Amino acid sequence: MSRTLDRETTRWSLFTLAAGVGVVLSSAGVTGARAEGGDRGGQDGSGDPSYGVPLHERIDRLVEGSAPGPLAALCSDEEFLRRASLTLIGTVPPPAEARAFLDDASPDKRTALIDRLLADARHPLYMAGVFDVMLMERRPDQQVPAADWQKYLQDSFAANKPWDVLAREILASDGADAKLRAPAKFFLDRPEVNLLTRDVGRILFGMDLQCAQCHDHPLIDNYKQSDYFGLYAFVNRSYNFADPQLKLQVVAEKGEGDVSFKSVFTGEAGDTRPRLPGDVELDEPTFARGEEYTVKPADNVRPIPKYSRRQRLATEATNGTNRAFNRNIANRLWAHMMGRGLAEPVDLHHPENPPSHPEVLDLLADEFVAMKYDIRALLRELALTRTYQRSVEMPLELLAAVPSAAEQVAQLKAEYERLGEVASESTAASEKLKEAFDAAKKSVSDLNAELDKAHATVAETRKAQEPAAATLAQTEQQLAARRDVAGLLGEAASKAADAAARLSDDKELAAAVEPLKNRSVQLAAEVTALEQTHAQHQQAAMAAREAVAAAEKGVAEITARLEAARPPLTAADREFTAADVRRKEQETLSRVAQLRVETLEALAGYGSLEAKAMASTAAAEPALAELAPLRTKSAEYAAQLLQREAVLAGLQPRYDAVTAALAETRAQFSVRQEVAALFAAAAASTDLALKELPEDEALKDALATLSSRSQAFSSEVAELQKAAGQREAELQAITADREAAQQALATVKSELDGVSQQLQPLEEKHAAVLKQAGDDRAAADEAFGEITEHWTIRFTAAPLQQLSPEQLAWATLEATGMTDRQRAGSQAELDQKDPAGKQAAEADSAARAARLAQIEQDAWHKLKGNVGAFVNLFGGAAGEPQHVFYATVDQALFFSNGGTVRGWIAGGTLLERLSKLEQPAAVAEELYLSVLTRRPSESEIADVAAYLESRKDERPAALQELAWALLSSTEFRFNH
C-alpha cells in the first residue's frame, strides 16, 4: 500500500533509457482567537493552554488531533533535504551539501537546514519569483517592465518586508513616484476595472467572484453580486492616465462615481459603498458637488481626489482586521510549503469548499498578524512542523484503523447533524438581520435617490440663476460706469456754471457751459433709469438666489436625514455582517464535519473492500487446488497425445512409400503379364506356322526369338509377382502399426476428452472466482486511491507535488553542474574586480559569507535567462492560476530530443565529476545525489555498473546517457 514513486519500477531503465514523462470534530475552539480580539486568558496570555507553545507545535497538535486514522511516518532525510531546498530556495542541493546533511547525525540538523536555507542568498530571489507568479500570473508586460517589478520584489524579500507593507505598497502606489513605480504594476497592467476587481478578489482575498459580476454566483451560494461590487467600488474610480510630464502611464482616480448594480437573472437592483469581503460598507467623507478634488480634472492634468477609495482599500485590507485578507495569504503560504492549501483551490474560499482544518487556518491567520506579517518567520514555522515533514507514503497500519473508523462514523454523524441544525439556526438568524439590513439599506438608497434629485434641482436652479446673475452683473457694471461719468460730468458742469456766473459777460463761455449742463442732466437721467433697471434685475437675481438656497436647503435637509439614517444602517450592517460571519462559520463547521464523516466512511469502506479482495483471493485457492490434479492429468494426456500423433505422423511416410512401391510393382506386373501373354500367343502361332513350313528358317529364327522373349517376360512377371507379395506383406505390417497408433491416439484423445469434460466447469468456476478476485482487488485499489486523497487533504500524508517550471529549471541547472560552473565564473570575475574583498573574505568569516552570497546572486542573475524555456513549456496560460499539473508531448520531447538539457549535461561539471570516479558505486552515488538528492539502492548501483560495463568502450557517452535518464525520470519532476 504505497503511492510513492516506486524506485524499482518507475525510476528509469538503463537499457531503454525511457523517460517517464479519527477524532470526533468539536465545534468548540475551531475558529480560534482573533488577532483583533478574543480572550487568551491573562494579559500575558498565561491563561491560554497554548501560551508559550511554538506555533509549529500548535499546528501539529491541531492536524494530528483531528487525524482520521494513522499518520504517515516522517519523511526520510533525503526527502526532507530535497523538499526543503525546493520550497525555500527553489532548487536542489549540490551533492557535497547533500552528502554532508545525510551524514550528519545531529538531532537538530533539520532545524539548522531550514535556518540555513532561509538565510541563503537565493531565498529572496526565489520567493520574489513565487510572489511574481502569484500576483501577476505570468501576464505580459504592459506599463511596468517585469525586470523592475521583480527587482522590487527581490529587494522586498531581501529586506524581509512584511506582507502588509508589501501589499499596501502594491495597492496604493500610483506609479508617479519613481521609487514606487514598480509596485504599481499590479494596477497599471490590469487597466480593465472588472479584471482588476476579479484579481483583487481572487489573489488578495481568496474569492473568485467573476461569476458574481452580473448576478449572484449560480454555483456558490455565498458569493453574492454585492460582494463583487463591494470590491468593484474600491477600484471603479481608478484608471490609467497618460501623464504628459512623466511621459508614463500612471494610476489616476476620480473623486466621484457611486456603484449600483442589477441582477440579469432577477432584475433585483442594489447599490453599495466600498466593502471588503466579510466586512461592512465603509463610511466615507462627503464633499459638496464640485469640491471633491485637491487637483480638479482638466486636460492633461491628473486629478487628485481629496478622498481616495484605492488608498482606503490599501489601508483597510492590510490593517490586520480583515479575516479574508489574512486567511488568504496564510492559506497561500501553507499551499506553497505543503503542496496544497488548507482551502483548495486557494481562490475559492467558501463554506461549501471549507478548509480541511478551519482551526489551523484561523490560527495561521491570527499568528501571522501577531508576528507582524513576517513571511520568513511563518515559512520557518511551517517547515518545522511534522505536518510538513510527513512522507508521501501511506501508513502501513491503515487497515488496523478501520474498526475504529467504523465506530466513529455514527458519533461523528451525530455531531454533523447537530452542527447542521446549528447552521440552520444561524442561517435563520442571519436572514432576519438581513431583512432589517435590507430595510435600512432601502431607506438610505431612497434618500440617496432623493439626494441625487435634490442635487439635480440645485444644478438646475443654479443654471437658471446664471442669466439673471449675469444680467445683474452687467447692469451693475453699466450703472457704476454711468455713475462715475455722471458724477464727474456733474461736478464739471457745476464748476463751469460757477465760472460762467463769475464771468456773466462772457457769452462764449455761457454757450459752452450749456451743453455740458444738458449732458450732465442727461447722464443723471440715464443713471436714474439704470438704477430702476438694476433694481428690477436685483430683484430677479435675488429670486434666483432664493431658489438656489431653497434647493440647497433641500439638499441639506436630505443630507441630514441621510446622515441620521446611516447610523442605523451601519448598525444593521454590522449586526448582519457579524451574523453572516457566524453563519458561514457554522456552515463551514458543518461541511467540515460532513467531509470528515466521508473520510471515515471511505476508510471503513476501504477496509471492507480490502477484506473482500483478500477473501476473494483466498477463495480462489480451493478452486485452484481442485483444478491442479485435473490440469496435471490434462497436461499428461496432452503430452501423450502429442507423442501418439508424432508416432502416427512418423509411420505415414513409410506407409506412403510402401503403398506407392506396391502400386508401382502392380502396375509393372500388369504390363509385363500382358506382354508375356502376347509373346506366348505369338510364339504358339509361329510354332503352328513352322509345323506347316518346317524348313522355313525365318520362322525358326522368329520362333526362337519369341520363345526366348516370352520366357524372359514370364520370369519378370514371376519376379514382379513375388515383389508385389512382399510389398503387400510390408503394407499389411505398416497398416497394422498405423491402426495400432490410431487406436492408441483415439484412446489418449478419449482420456483427454474425459478430463476436459471434468475440467471445463471447474475452469469456468475458477475463471469466475479469479474475475471476482480481480474486480474486488481493483475496487480495493480504487478505494485506496480515494483514501490517499483524503489523507493528503487532511495532511496526514504529504501530497505528491510537481515542480514548478522555475523549480524544474533551477534544479536541472544545479543537477547538471551548470550553476556550479557559473559560480566559478562569477567568483573569478569578482576576485579580479575586487582583490581586496577577496583578501578580506579569506580573513573574516562574515566577509566570506557576504562574498559567497554576492557570488550566488551574480550566478543566479546570469543564469535566469534559461528559465524562460521551462516556463513556456511547463507553465500555465498567462493570467490563469499556475499550480495545475499537466504533461504534454512537447515537454517530453524537450527532455528527450531537445538540445538544452543535453547541452547542460555536456557543459556542466557533473560529467567532469563522474568521469573522475572509477568505481561504479561511487559514480552511482554522485549521480543520484546530484540529480535525485538521494543515495542509490543496491539494485540501482548494480544497474549503473552493468550499463557502464556494457558500454565500457564508450564511457563518456554512457555517463551522459545515465545523467540524461535520471533528469528525464518521473522522480525528478516531483518534490517528494
User: Considering only CA atoms, which of 674, 663, 662 is closest in space to residue 716?
Assistant: 674
Residues 6+ apart with CB under 8 A from 199: 190
Residues 6+ apart with CB under 8 A from 788: 3, 394, 797
| 36 pLDDT more than 50 | no
The 10s digit of each residue's pLDDT in 308-328 is: 999 999 999 999 999 999 999
The C-alpha angle 894, 895, 899, rounded to 5 degrees, equals 70
Cβ burial, residue 949 (10 Å; 0-12/13-18/19+): exposed
Report yes or no: 347 and 202 within 8 Å, Cβ to Cβ.
Answer: yes
Looking at 72-76, 96-100, 401-405, 465-469, which range is the least confident one? 465-469
Query: Which amino acid is located at 284 in the chain?
Result: E
| 215 pLDDT more than 60 | yes
Q: What is the mean pLDDT of residues 77-100?
A: 97
Which cell goes with 82?
530535497
The 10s digit of each residue's pLDDT in 131-148 is: 999 999 999 999 999 999
The 10s digit of each residue's pLDDT in 871-909 is: 988 887 787 766 666 677 888 788 877 789 999 999 999
Q: What is the DSSP string of 106-153?
A: -TTHHHHHHHHHHHSTHHHHHHHHHHHHHHHTTPPPSSS-HHHHHHHH
- Is 483 in a helix, a strand, or coil? helix
Which cell goes with 822?
557559473
| Eight-class DSSP state of 191 | -
Cβ burial, residue 300 (10 Å; 0-12/13-18/19+): exposed
Give the pairing of strands 269-272 and 259-262. antiparallel
DSSP H/E element including 687: helix 507-692
**Residue with the three cell numbers 465603509:** 282
Cα separation of 226 and 260, whole Å?
9
Confidence of residue 354 (pLDDT cuts 50, 70, 90): very high
Cα separation of 60 and 384, whole Å?
10
| 624 pLDDT more than 80 | no
User: Considering only CA atoms, which of 503, 516, 387 is closest in space to residue 71?
Assistant: 387
Residues 6+ apart with CB under 8 A from 976: 4, 5, 75, 79, 82, 83, 392, 798, 800, 801
Cα separation of 961 and 19, whole Å?
11
Q: What is the mean pLDDT of residues 611-629?
A: 83
Looking at 80-94, 206-220, 863-877, which range is the least confident one? 863-877
Confidence of residue 862 (pLDDT cuts 50, 70, 90): very high
The 10s digit of each residue's pLDDT in 167-203 is: 999 999 999 999 999 999 999 999 999 999 999 999 9
Q: How many Cβ atoms sit within 10 Å of the Cβ of residue 851?
A: 20
Looking at 75-84, 269-278, 725-734, which range is the least confident one? 725-734
Report yes or no: 273 and 203 within 8 Å, Cβ to Cβ.
Answer: no
Cα separation of 451 and 459, whole Å?
12
Q: How many Cβ atoms sit within 10 Å of the Cβ of residue 421?
A: 12
| Eight-class DSSP state of 401 | G
Which cell goes with 50?
497554548
Residue 305, strand partner residues? 293
| 942 pLDDT more than 50 | yes
The 10s digit of each residue's pLDDT in 502-520 is: 777 777 777 777 787 788 7
Count of H-run helices and E-run strands, the chain: 30, 8
Cα separation of 160 and 709, whole Å?
131
Go through the chain and tell me how many residues it has.
976
Cα separation of 674 and 667, whole Å?
11
Cα separation of 774 and 381, whole Å?
46
Q: Strand ranges (DSSP E) for 357-505?
A: none
Confidence of residue 7 (pLDDT cuts 50, 70, 90): very low
Which cell goes with 819?
550553476
Percent of the chain surpassing pLDDT 70 = 94
| 381 pLDDT more than 50 | yes
Which cell goes with 774?
480481480
The 10s digit of each residue's pLDDT in 328-345 is: 999 999 999 999 999 999
| 1 pLDDT more than 50 | no
Confidence of residue 9 (pLDDT cuts 50, 70, 90): very low
Cα separation of 54 and 894, whole Å?
45
User: Considering only CA atoms, which of 89, 86, 95 is closest in space to residue 856?
Assistant: 89
Which cell goes with 65?
488531533
**Residue with the three cell numbers 521609487:** 179
User: Considering only CA atoms, which of 821, 892, 899 is closest in space to residue 862?
Assistant: 821
Q: How many Cβ atoms sit within 10 Å of the Cβ of residue 831?
A: 15
Report yes or no: 648 and 741 within 8 Å, Cβ to Cβ.
Answer: yes
pLDDT confidence of residue 35: 35
Cα separation of 867 and 869, whole Å?
6
Looking at 40-54, 589-603, 811-825, 872-886, which range is the least confident one? 40-54
Cα separation of 762 and 634, whole Å?
13
pLDDT confidence of residue 180: 93
pLDDT confidence of residue 863: 95
The 10s digit of each residue's pLDDT in 490-501 is: 777 777 777 777
pLDDT confidence of residue 759: 77
| 48 pLDDT more than 70 | no
Q: What is the mean pLDDT of residues 553-582?
A: 90
SS3 content of the chain, % helix, strand, coil (to 5): 70, 5, 25
| 33 pLDDT more than 70 | no
Query: Which amino acid is located at 869 in the chain?
Result: A
Phi, psi (rounded to 5 degrees) for 253: -145, 135
| 632 pLDDT more than 90 | no
| Eight-class DSSP state of 50 | T
Query: Could you tell me the sign of the dihedral formed by the alpha carbons of 406, 407, 412, 413, in that order?
Result: positive
Q: What is the DSSP string of 930-961?
A: HHHSSPPPHHHHHHHHHHHHHTGGGHHHHHHH
Q: What is the mean pLDDT of residues 293-305?
A: 94
pLDDT confidence of residue 49: 66
| 461 pLDDT more than 70 | yes
Return mean pLDDT, the chain: 88
Which cell goes with 121?
542568498
Cα separation of 934 and 98, whole Å?
8
DSSP H/E element including 310: helix 309-318
Cα separation of 498 and 292, whole Å?
63
Looking at 19-33, 356-370, 429-443, 827-841, which range is the least confident one? 19-33
Cα separation of 814 and 304, whole Å?
50
More confident residue, 1 or 742: 742
Q: How many Cβ atoms sit within 10 Å of the Cβ of residue 37?
A: 8
Residue 343, Ramachandran bin (φ over 0: left; ψ between -120 and 50: alpha; else beta): beta
